[in-house]
A = this chain, B = another copy of it.
Amino acid sequence: MKKIGVVDTTFARFDMAHAAIDEMQMLSPNIKIIRSTVPGIKDLPVACKILIEEKQCDIVIALGMPGGQPIDKQCAHEASTGLIQAQLLTNTHIIEVFVHEDEAENEKELAWLTEQRTREHARNIVDLLFHKEKFQKQAGKGLRQGFADAGPLP
Contacts and interface: CB of A to CB of B under 8 A. Distances in A.
B88 A45 contact: yes
A43 B100 contact: no
A111 to B, nearest CB: 4
B88 A39 contact: no
Given A39-B121, A135-B38, A152 B13 contact: yes
Given A18-B140, A85-B85, A140-B12, A145 B39 contact: yes
Contact size range, A: 35 or more
A84 B84 contact: no
A11 B144 contact: yes
B142 A49 contact: no
A37 B138 contact: yes
9 contacts: A8-B139, A10-B135, A10-B138, A13-B151, A14-B153, A45-B88, A46-B88, A50-B91, A84-B85
